[in-house]
Amino acid sequence: MRKRMRVAMMLVIGAMGVLASRAASAQGQDFSKVQIKVTKVSGNIYMLEGAGGNIAASVGEDGIAIVDDQYAPLAEKIQAALKDLGVTTKPVRFVINTHYHGDHTGGNELFGNAGSTLIAHANVRKRLETGGTAGNGGSIKVEQKLASGNALPIITFEHDVTVHLNGEDIRALHFPSGHTDGDSIIFFPKNNVVHMGDDFVRYGFPFIDVSSGGGVEGMIAATEKVAAELPADVRVIPGHGALSNMEDLKAFTKMLKETSAVVEKALGGRKTLDQMKQEKILAPWEKFSGGYINSDAFIETLYNSLTRHQGEFMKHN
């Protein structure tokens, strides 16, 4: 029993440590050995992997537009990787943020200082301006430092915005209350590519920032809508992890729906959060555990997300 408790505690600590490293600033982290891996996705669309969230890039004679920009110390490496493609000598004209977390917006200031136009949902700017604590409403809490000046998006939108560049209508569409309350999913229709932000990740159970307006029901709604409206052969760039496809996205949605249903049933049976953990109600989905979020942390996430929704329903009815 003691051994199992020690293992469980190590998993929780490990998950919290990884999340903290994702959201923390460059201070205390060694980015010197990080290499930027570039993958051609389709046509003139590329995916860049380094440390932090995946980047999508539209590269052409009109210039470059990128989706997200990882951590500040990697901005020069990202610029160099784009230049090494040899497609254009023009700079990054636009940066679109999928949400406000530091592992997706850390490079904003450097790109902004270099003349890039930063674009995001209005809630991204608001949360960058104020900072605060991201978290799942339970054991996962990550401080997000406030940003200012050229690190802030200068073009914001409520529903959607389109950037016309390199012969493509790059569309950013807001999906409310998924990973956060400021999520955007980015569509490249000409090249049949979509960047999901952290509404779809490949590391296992997702981090849903309940403290920043996120919720599992919004995440399910976003992934289902994308799957329903895009072609079966769409190339899917996740917020984290390997380049994906529609089958991967649907499997992720299925997991979200099944695990939510189990927690909802437990809530209906008046089970407490501790009882749900003790009974290991997410054991059938154990293969999704052990990444950033283990099973107990995801039970917390679902519990807090679903009870918050019920509380809001009762308040308005």
* pLDDT of amino acid 28: 58
Contact (Cβ atoms closer than 8 angstroms) between residue 222 and residue 180: no
**Structure token pair of residue 44:** 């003139």
Contact at 8 Å (CB) between 106 and 69?
A: yes
The C-alpha torsion from 304 through 310 and 312 to 315, rounded to 10°, is -140
Residue at token pair 């950033």: 292
Which domain does 218 fall in, by range? Answer: 2-258
Q: What is the pLDDT of residue 290?
A: 79
Question: Do the Cβ atoms of 196 and 217 come closer than 8 Å?
Answer: no
pLDDT of residue 30: 85
**Global confidence as pTM:** 0.89
Q: How many independent structural domains does the chain possess?
A: 1
Whether residue 298 is contained in a domain is answered as no
Task: Give pLDDT tens digits along the chain (317 positions).
Answer: 444 434 333 333 333 334 444 444 444 578 989 999 999 999 999 999 999 999 999 999 999 999 999 999 999 999 999 999 989 899 999 999 999 999 999 999 999 999 999 999 999 999 999 999 999 999 999 999 899 999 999 999 999 999 999 999 999 999 999 999 999 999 999 999 999 999 999 999 999 999 999 999 999 999 999 999 999 999 999 999 999 999 999 999 999 999 999 999 999 999 999 999 999 999 999 999 978 899 999 999 999 999 985 444 334 33
Structural domain includes residue 280: no
**Does 187 fall in a domain?**
yes
What local confidence, expressed as pLDDT, does residue 231 receive?
97
Tokens of 86: 């040899």
Q: What is the pLDDT of residue 308?
A: 84
DSSP the chain: -HHHHHHHHHHHHHHHHHHHHHHS-STT---TT---EEEEEETTEEEEESSSS-EEEEEETTEEEEE----GGGHHHHHHHHHTT-S-S--EEEEE-SS--HHHHTTHHHHHHTTPEEEEEHHHHHHHHH-EEEE-SSS-EEEE----GGGS-SEEESSEEEEEETTEEEEEEE-TTSSSSS-EEEEEGGGTEEE-GGGS-SSSS----GGGT--HHHHHHHHHHHHHHS-TT-EEE-SSSS-B-HHHHHHHHHHHHHHHHHHHHHHHTT--HHHHHHTTTTGGGGGG-SSSS-HHHHHHHHHHHHHHHHHHHHHT-
Is 307 contained in some domain? no
Scanning the structure block, which residue is given the tokens 């999340």?
19
Per-residue confidence (pLDDT) for residue 18, from 0 to 100: 41
Tokens, residue 202: 């490949």
**Residue 240 within any structural domain of the chain:** yes
Residue 200's closest CA among 158, 254, 146?
254
- Asked, for residue 314, whether it belongs to a domain, the answer is no
Q: Is residue 292 part of a domain?
A: no
| Domain membership flag for residue 264 | no
CATH of the domain at 197: 3.60.15.10
Nearest to 70 by CA among 132, 17, 25, 16: 25
- 308 contact partners, CB below 8 Å, separation of at least 6: 137, 210, 215
| Amino acid type, 87 | V
